[in-house]
Chain A
Amino acid sequence: MKIRTLEQLRALAEELRAARDHRPCVRVCGGTGCRARGSEEVLARFKTLLQEMGLTEAVDVKFTGCHGLCERGPLVSLAPQEVFYQGVEADDVRAIVTETLARGTVIDRLLAQDPRTGKRARREQEIPFYQRQHRLVLRFNGLLDPTDIRDYIALGGYQALGTALTRLTPEAVIELIERSGLRGRGGAGFPTGKKWRMARAAPGSRKYVICNGDEGDPGAFMDRSVLEGNPHSVIEGMIIGAYAVGATQGIIYVREEYPLAVQTLEIALAQARDSGFLGKEIFDSPFSFDIEIVRGAGAFVAGEETALIAAVEGRVSEPRQRPPYPVQRGVWGYPTVINNVETWANVPIILERGPEWFASLGTATSKGTKIFSLVGKVTNTGLVEIPMGMTLRELIEEIGGGAPPPRAIKAVQIGGPSGGCLPKTLFDLPIDYESLTEAGAMMGSGGLIVMDDRTCMVDVARYFMDFLRDESCGKCLPCREGTNRMYELLTAICEGRATELDLELLEELAQVVKQTSLCGLGQTAPNPVLTTLRYFRPEYEAHIRERRCPAGVCKALIRYVINAERCTGCLACLQPCPQQAIRGQLKQPHVIDQERCIKCGICHEVCQFGAVEIV
């Protein structure tokens, strides 16, 4: 059914809500993480069981978007009981239906447990992981079925679009976005309203808007979760943006590695078209607009906007000189607005709640919320959305739950592969664009890797440099050869072959790569090196002067030895050693043959008594 007026849309939302509210609802998480853990099977079991019991009509079963707590999946939440189950298996389904759904009894063992207090949380909001978050962009993830536009409409979806098209001029929309202080969530944090204004002012017979869903940061899945969990929020944001800048064509660029996101988007676009939100004369206004999906064979650099344009045009994704900026000359030479997935998803929220409300969240220069993918050595990993300005400490300690004991947190890597490593001493830093940049890191698109005291910072820099020298497009010399040489120098340091002069050279080279590279990749690639040098210089010096790796990571600089006093002679390490390098008899201290040892560290891990030491 085509929706022509705002009133019609509101009435439909009312109607949908009224029709649903009285039914109990089972929400199974259908995010990629939970699917990998078997949530599809859980969903199927719910459906067959309810059918057997003749309850198909009485209970609403939904397959929703990602909840964020992926590592505890599959997740299932029940309404109106407000119970949040984690680690649900297909065999638990019967119990959930007969006990919780039918009788309201909570199954304790499926509730989330706080590893520190042992307390079990019944509702999602009671879990420490969620308590400190401010879920704005992710607010409907986990509530709605992303393949059913009626769910989004029932929650007030597309009303912001209706308001914009029927009550606001394009200039007024731009002004609202400007007043909200929204800045790009894809990396550099450029003011979105300003970008739109420039695109609106740029001369061009045609204009484009693009959603950047390349998300090439390893380990990051913010954008994927938004696209998979609430695609209509992105689509609605894009239509509003297109109206504001005067674009007639939209493109969602999604990486090929996100098949579920592509599939969900295809369904969502078709439904939006059927409902009249895309196509000709939307909301009976003169404005016409449509969106197509372009799939990119994910390269990290393809997320850079000029490389993305090249990819959309069917060329190799290599960056080019800016200016001209995409708002001046973008796809096929026409003015083009490129925004990140999360940026677009914020747009309807700003129109709905008002720019002042939005601007009240966050800090003086960074407004709203930001989604991070919190990974690494923290207790709770997953997707978190926090108000800007929260400190790193709150995010890591309170939401992330700190490091699992007995380890302690040492540093955090923020901003993706070319972000920076910040030490524990800076954990009171507020998370906003300026503070992070000043500290040598960046907001990036929201990757956040927590590292514990068993991490060697030189090794970390080397790891990222290995990634970057591979992901550099190779077009310009400083980035291509510079990252490669930085990797070489870091390897030499890790292997104890480097001198002080190499360290000097590394620093000098890092500066030049940063200054002279063509695109953002090369300009930020030295960040891992520069920040580790800035905050962890003694670690570099230990590698060079003492040929020692303080964290006990760099293989060339460590040895595994067995402490004869601690060794109980249990023989446990003998068999797992792939080199048969350990000799010993029952109840006699064992010895590692250093000639044979390849420093794989397996004995260190299997020893129950901490007798295998790294020296």
Chain B
Amino acid sequence: MTRLSLNGIEVDLEEGTTLLEAAQHLGIEIPTLCFHQGLSAYGACRLCVVELGDGRLVSACTYPVQEGLRVRTHSPRVLRARRMLIELLLSICPSSKRIQDLAAAHQVERVRFSVRDERCILCGLCVRMCAEQMMAHAIGFVNRGYRRRITTPFDLPSDVCRRCGGCLYICPVCELRCQGPEATSIVCGACVTPAPTCPPVYGDLACYMGAAGECGTCVREPRTPDPHSSDLRGRRESL
């Protein structure tokens, strides 16, 4: 048994448990993107960072519990870092519901980077799904750094892919955001998706209440123009 303190709560946990599991055990919610219970932990999106006693930020999904560790899951440092990470995610994937929801939940209201909609955050869930659960190894990463992407070997149609759709199922960002009144803004932020007002079950119009925006949850007061927001930089068209 390993004893550590999580947000001030002393807990005894089995060796090999991760900090994320420890937090879940205590009902503390840590946002994750590249983590899935059925797959190996990867530690790539860094959204699950937590602060250790020495001030270091580490990814909860991969960090093993250690004797005497002091962990804070929502310290100001952690929240500041998560917000910046979400801003980065928004700047490459503004069309995703999951990312928009994360932004709303963390009060990320602007994107100060130029936006390019990549529709992929390279979390690698699909790669792991394909390899670890479907045993197909049909897709993988190519290149490194900012040129990195996910594809089949040599970009050719794969012989081993069985069209199982596991990759689609697991993808955290390919579910499109609400197509409501602000569908073209970089930051939607209106739908925090608190159940039951706007559950993630849509009709054809991507909004289960009927015509998009009808229920009004996602319609807000006009925002005061932010001189630094991406909107004003004329980057709407990129969506």
The CA-CA distance from A316 to B227 in the complex, in Å, is: 44
Asked if B148 is an interface residue, CB under 8 A from chain A, the answer is yes
Which residues between 451 and 477 of chain A lie within 8 Å of chain B, taking CB atoms? 468-477
Report the minimum CB–CB distance from B83 to chain A (whole Å). 9
Given the known inter-chain contacts A472-B146, A512-B80, A517-B46, please indicate yes or no for A478 contacting B122, CB distance below 8 A: no
> Which residues of B are found within 8 Å of A482, using beta-carbon distances?
88
Which residues between 467 and 493 of chain A lie within 8 Å of chain B, taking CB atoms? 468-478, 480-485, 488
Given the known inter-chain contacts A320-B43, A485-B113, A518-B59, please indicate yes or no for A470 contacting B146, CB distance below 8 A: yes
Report the minimum CB–CB distance from A152 to chain B (whole Å). 39
- B32-44 interface code vs A (CB 8 A; 1 in, 0 out): 0000000001111
Contact B81 A480 (CB under 8 A): no
Contact A480 B112 (CB under 8 A): no
Asked if A301 is an interface residue, CB under 8 A from chain B, the answer is yes
- Total interface residues on A, CB under 8 Å, equals 35
Q: Which single residue of chain B is at the shortest CB-CB distance from A487?
A: B146
Contact A484 B43 (CB under 8 A): no
Q: Which single residue of chain A is at the shortest CB-CB distance from B84?
A: A512
Contact B84 A508 (CB under 8 A): yes
> Which residues of A are found within 8 Å of B77, using beta-carbon distances?
515
Chain A binding surface, main DSSP class:
helix
Contact B144 A473 (CB under 8 A): yes
Report the minimum CB–CB distance from A490 to chain B (whole Å). 13
- Total interface residues on B, CB under 8 Å, equals 40
Asked if A321 is an interface residue, CB under 8 A from chain B, the answer is yes
Report the minimum CB–CB distance from A513 to chain B (whole Å). 9
Report the minimum CB–CB distance from B20 to chain A (whole Å). 12
Chain B binding surface, main DSSP class:
loop
A-B contact count (CB 8 A): 104
Q: Which single residue of chain B is at the shortest CB-CB distance from A471?
A: B145
The CA-CA distance from A324 to B18 in the complex, in Å, is: 12
The CA-CA distance from A512 to B108 in the complex, in Å, is: 15
- B145-165 interface code vs A (CB 8 A; 1 in, 0 out): 111100000000000000000
Asked if A270 is an interface residue, CB under 8 A from chain B, the answer is no
- A316-339 interface code vs B (CB 8 A; 1 in, 0 out): 100011011000000000000000
Contact A474 B57 (CB under 8 A): no
Given the known inter-chain contacts A512-B80, A512-B85, please indicate yes or no for A478 contacting B46, CB distance below 8 A: yes
Given the known inter-chain contacts A474-B122, A516-B85, please indicate yes or no for A301 contacting B144, CB distance below 8 A: yes
Asked if B114 is an interface residue, CB under 8 A from chain A, the answer is yes
Contact B113 A488 (CB under 8 A): yes
Report the minimum CB–CB distance from A183 to chain B (whole Å). 20
The CA-CA distance from A517 to B58 in the complex, in Å, is: 8
Asked if A201 is an interface residue, CB under 8 A from chain B, the answer is no
Which one of B49, B92, B144 contacts A481 once the chains associate, using CB atoms below 8 Å? B92
Contact A472 B114 (CB under 8 A): no
Asked if A18 is an interface residue, CB under 8 A from chain B, the answer is no
Report the minimum CB–CB distance from B53 to chain A (whole Å). 15
Asked if B63 is an interface residue, CB under 8 A from chain A, the answer is yes
Contact B44 A321 (CB under 8 A): no
Report the minimum CB–CB distance from A455 to chain B (whole Å). 25
> Which residues of B are found within 8 Å of A517, using beta-carbon distances?
46
> Which residues of A are found within 8 Å of B31, using beta-carbon distances?
none
Report the minimum CB–CB distance from B182 to chain A (whole Å). 23
Report the minimum CB–CB distance from B235 to chain A (whole Å). 13
> Which residues of B are found within 8 Å of A475, using beta-carbon distances?
42-44, 124
Which residues between 62 and 102 of chain B lie within 8 Å of chain A, taking CB atoms? 62-64, 66, 77, 80-81, 84-85, 88-89, 91-92
> Which residues of A are found within 8 Å of B89, using beta-carbon distances?
477
Report the minimum CB–CB distance from A182 to chain B (whole Å). 25
Contact B145 A477 (CB under 8 A): no
> Which residues of A are found within 8 Å of B113, using beta-carbon distances?
485, 488, 505
Report the minimum CB–CB distance from B112 to chain A (whole Å). 5
Contact B45 A476 (CB under 8 A): yes
> Which residues of B are found within 8 Å of A321, using beta-carbon distances?
41, 43, 58-59, 62-63
Which one of A324, A469, A477 contacts B88 once the chains associate, using CB atoms below 8 Å? A477
Q: Which residues of B contact A (CB under 8 A)?
A: 41-47, 49, 56-59, 62-64, 66, 77, 80-81, 84-85, 88-89, 91-92, 112-114, 121-122, 124, 141, 143-148, 227-228
Instruction: Give 22 A-B contacts (CB < 8 Å), ordered by A residue.
Output: A321-B59, A323-B66, A324-B64, A469-B145, A470-B145, A472-B146, A473-B148, A475-B44, A477-B44, A477-B46, A480-B145, A480-B146, A483-B146, A484-B145, A485-B88, A488-B113, A488-B114, A501-B112, A501-B228, A502-B112, A512-B85, A515-B49
Shortest beta-carbon contacts, A-B, top 6? A474-B148, A321-B62, A512-B84, A484-B146, A472-B145, A516-B46
Q: Give 4 A-B pairs besides A321-B43, A476-B44 with Cβ atoms closer than 8 angstroms.
A: A473-B144, A477-B44, A477-B122, A515-B77
Q: Which residues of A contact B (CB under 8 A)?
A: 299, 301, 316, 320-321, 323-324, 468-478, 480-485, 488, 501-502, 505, 508-509, 512, 515-518
